[in-house]
Chain A
Amino acid sequence: MSAHAGGYSADPRIRWIEWLPWVVALCAFFVLPEYLSLGARILIYILYALSLDLIVGYAGIVTLGHSAYFGLGAYVAGILAAKAGITDPLVQLVAAAAAGAALGITTGAIILRTKALTLLMLTLAITSVLLEIANKATDLTGGADGLSGVVIAPVLGLFKFDIFGKTAYLYCFVVLLLGWWLVRKVIYSPFGTALTGLRENTLRMHAIGAPVYWRLVLVYTVSATLAGIAGGLLTQTNQFVGLNVLSFESAGELLVMLILGGVGRLYGAFIGPLVYLIAQDMLAKQFPEYWYFGIGTMLVLVVMFARGGILGIVDGILVRLRRKT
């Protein structure tokens, strides 16, 4: 994890190649109209993976429970739409973000006092608690049957969610763009540098007088907020919430996507979900056994041989090419 994007000394201006994902996403909108629902899903998971990258890749907090904030956002948006009759998508999104932030700051303030196994265990336990609540509070969440009847009004009163997913795609696109801008700002700020410092050597950060605990709580809250927004987006595009948004498998899957793309690299969070979800769309339904086998093998191989993920491999090739010339 040495060659990561960002850092206080790095040039914070946006390089031309950083526009590439957005150009690709816009082209996909026009060229592949029949895949827009998959595309929206990819955009949502990119936002979700970005939020995870912020804490795992930059701050070095290992968590197995990030689905708690994603799932909470999804359920808050869904319950507002299906039970409370609040159908405005932006209001729902703000509520999902607020719920993610509130849960993030309360749980973060508690669990970030611990570390290693205890921290891992607490993140897992918090997700399990939420899952158990969602499972048992059937009046509110629909329990194991899922929450259906989610009604979404047009965005800003103008753009109706259509059957082809055009509005949903562009809506997710804009939200992701804003999320990316925020994460990028955070990473290139002095605060972002402090996070990298925490990841590399917490003791030394203590020694230079950095407020370690509060930095961690703050980044955890930001990350939980983004995850909550991603969850809200998922509800709005699917118009359904299932229990699986909160499951351990979902948190594990997200980690897989992030590690596949490359941890602590910002754009790893773009590549990972893209590759993973497209592969899943093509392979998982036909060959479920082989799919999980492949995922597992890939994880083991990435950890053993390619710790930087896809972007790490690309970096390595670029470095080698430059040396030759």
Chain B
Amino acid sequence: MEAFLASTVSVAFHGVALGMILYVISVGLSVTMGLMGFANLAHGVFALAGGYILTTSISRFGVPFPLALVLAFVIVGAGSVVLERLLYSRLYNASDLEQVLFTIGLIFIAVAVARFIYGTLQQPVYLPDYLKGQFSLLGRDFPAYRVFIIVFSAVTVGLLWFSIERTRWGAMVRAAVDNRAMAQAVGINTRRLFTLTFALGSGLAGLGGGLGAEIIAIQPTYPFENLVYFLVVVAVGGLGSLRGPFVAALLIGIADTSCKYWLPQYGAFPIYVATIGILLWRPMGLFGRHA
């Protein structure tokens, strides 16, 4: 009984850590899709870039871990503005097929560039000493790194929710998601709003990629391999919402960890089946609007 309890606690803990990472990476995708109706399959590229920036700046330039996280966020966010202005913005009115093809093209390019620069091997993550040990709570030990992930993500998520729900900029974003034409009509510069939101979402993906570099391995095929997970979070959670993907990400994180722990012979099979079931039950996602 005690062993079962211990493994349950451990699975829940690791599941929450994975779910937090998935949420920080995918929330930007949910907002881009909800706000601009853009099917950005290349979202994982931003997370991968964040992961590379974090690992390289630590291993090659000796940047301290917290600063490396900030760098991952800022550089990816800034880089995404360039991409958005140059490429994405031309396709806002294009069909689903064209957006899908364009973003698959971006993935191919990113995978090739990553392989060219870093080779095919997984990037090692050098954690600072204070994140290496164990953290004990209520007589149980938890790896400090994952505790950090959970706490850090929770703070980030809190800040994000606050800025969307309580600030003027957040009100503008919500207005544009609800009704873009009306938002434009009352004088909101949706064009600039898109760019800013895109940069924020991509920056968060970069941050998530860096933060989770030890959980989701940083290697060139990352955007392909994890695409399903990011899309599941967004589709199951519901487009354009903040809470939906949060619940979905936690569910997936916990479900994935439990499957790997208790039912390794089935792989990710139960997750996909559950996803199909949920989407058939509620095609707009758990918290999507027009369900």
Contact = CB atoms under 8 A, between A and B. Distances in A.
A135 B267 contact: yes
A300 B224 contact: no
A126 B101 contact: no
Contacts of A297: 105, 109
A113 B104 CA distance: 25
B272 A117 contact: no
Contact of B101 (A113, A121, A302): A302
Contacts of B109: 292-293, 296-297, 300
Contact of A298 (B94, B105, B268, B283): B105
A174 interface: no
Interface string B262-280: 0001111100110110011
A132 B265 CA distance: 10
A290 interface: yes
Contacts of A120: 39, 96, 100, 231
A296 B112 contact: yes
A114 B275 CA distance: 14
Contacts of A133: 269
Contact of B39 (A117, A290, A298, A304): A117
Contacts of B228: 124-125, 128, 248
Contacts of B283: 113-114, 118
A122 B273 CA distance: 10
Given A62-B96, A114-B279, A295-B108, A300 B284 contact: no
Contacts of B91: 303-304
Interface SS, B side: helix
A153 to B, nearest CB: 34
A18 interface: no
B276 A255 contact: no
A117 B113 CA distance: 28
Interface stretch (B128-136, B139-147, B166-174, B232-240): B232-240
Interface in A274-325: 288-293, 295-300, 302-304, 307
A292 B111 contact: yes
Contacts of A113: 280, 283
Interface in B73-120: 87, 90-91, 94, 96-98, 100-102, 104-113, 115-116
Contacts of A118: 235, 279, 283-285
B286 to A, nearest CB: 12
A144 B25 CA distance: 30
B108 A125 contact: no
Given A117-B235, A249-B224, A292-B112, A303 B276 contact: no
A293 B94 CA distance: 23
Contacts of A110: 276, 280
B48 to A, nearest CB: 14
A146 interface: no
A266 interface: no
A60 B95 CA distance: 10
A251 B138 CA distance: 49
A300 B106 contact: yes
A104 B273 CA distance: 17
B33 interface: yes
Nearest to B264: A136
A121 B111 contact: no
A252 B235 CA distance: 20
B265 A136 contact: yes
Given A64-B100, A114-B283, A136-B265, A296 B105 contact: yes
B108 A126 contact: no
B267 A300 contact: no
A286 to B, nearest CB: 14
B106 A125 contact: no
A114 B280 CA distance: 8
Contact of A121 (B104, B115, B232): B232
Given A117-B235, A121-B235, A125-B228, A252 B104 contact: yes
Given A114-B283, A293-B109, A300-B87, A255 B104 contact: yes
B13 to A, nearest CB: 26
A56 to B, nearest CB: 7
B97 A62 contact: yes
Interface in A29-77: 56, 60, 62, 64
Q: Which 3 residue pairs are nearest across A and B when measured between Cβ atoms?
A: A299-B105, A296-B108, A296-B109
19 contacts: A60-B97, A62-B100, A117-B231, A118-B235, A121-B275, A129-B269, A129-B273, A132-B267, A132-B272, A248-B228, A255-B104, A263-B97, A291-B112, A292-B111, A293-B112, A295-B108, A298-B105, A300-B106, A304-B91
Interface of A: 56, 60, 62, 64, 110, 113-114, 116-118, 120-122, 124-126, 128-129, 132-133, 135-136, 248-249, 252, 255-256, 259, 263, 288-293, 295-300, 302-304, 307
Given A117-B235, A122-B276, 15 more contacts: A113-B283, A117-B234, A118-B235, A120-B100, A120-B231, A121-B235, A125-B232, A125-B279, A126-B272, A128-B268, A255-B101, A291-B112, A292-B115, A295-B105, A299-B102
